[in-house]
Amino acid sequence: MFTIEMEDDETLITMLGNGDHIEDVSISLGDEYVFIRQWNDDIDSLDEVIMTSEMYYSLMQAWSLPEGSYTLERTKL
């Protein structure tokens, strides 16, 4: 299950965890950067991955591609 919240300058997607086994994951999508965060009980803090929006776009495209090396170009509509 997941939720989507729209703010003025970002979209927040929260992937709900699996009870006690997996903590929720939040993805904050902005114009320039994407932040992926998950609570880590071991260090009592958030783990965070920061990437550009282009890197995130490439990650999403990679789900549907076979093994290999790719360069993606985004076109504006």
What are the pLDDT digits (tens) for 1-44? 999 999 989 999 999 987 778 899 999 999 999 999 999 999 99
* Burial class of residue 76 (count of CB atoms within 10 Å of its CB; 0-12, 13-18, 19+): exposed
pLDDT at 27: 96
Q: Look at residue 54 and tell me whether its pLDDT is greater than 80.
A: yes
Are 5 and 11 in contact by the 8 Å Cβ rule? The answer is yes
SS3 34: strand
77 band by pLDDT with thresholds 50, 70 and 90? low
Residue type, 67: E
pLDDT at 44: 95
User: What pTM did the predictor assign?
Assistant: 0.81
